[in-house]
Amino acid sequence: MNYQKSQMIYSDYKWSAKADHDNPKFIGAQDAAMLNREEGYEMLYFINNMALTWSWNDSLVSRQKLEHIIRAEVPSDIRTPSGIKNWIEQNYKEI
């Protein structure tokens, strides 16, 4: 199961790559060293990638909880995908 735009709990995402630093040819893939938590394509890619990394099956609730944690709980000064992943792994036993 891939997390889809229609399943996301936040509705304020931007859905176009920025010309200043995002490469629009890589929409849906991680095209920057930092995760932009306001860019829908980056969030979808990251959430789906983490679901594969953590061997989640068809858990929509877990993906939605992960979206909330990334947006509302991970400190804003942690911006790299690996930093966000590590913070979540250190602070949550189960999602």
3-state DSSP assignment of residue 14: strand
Residue 34 structural domain: 5-91
Per-residue model confidence as pLDDT tens digits over 23-48: 544 444 444 589 999 999 999 999 99
Angle in degrees, 0-180, between the axes of helices 40-53 and 81-91, rounded to the nearest 10: 50
Residue 33 to residue 85: CA distance in whole angstroms = 13
Write the burial class of residue 3 (CB in 10 Å: 0-12 exposed, 13-18 middle, 19+ buried).
buried
Question: Considering its fold, how many domains does the chain have in total?
Answer: 1
The phi and psi torsions of 39 (rounded to 5 degrees) equal -100, 115
Is pTM, for the whole model, over 0.85?
no
Per-residue model confidence as pLDDT tens digits over 40-73: 999 999 999 999 999 888 889 999 999 999 999 9
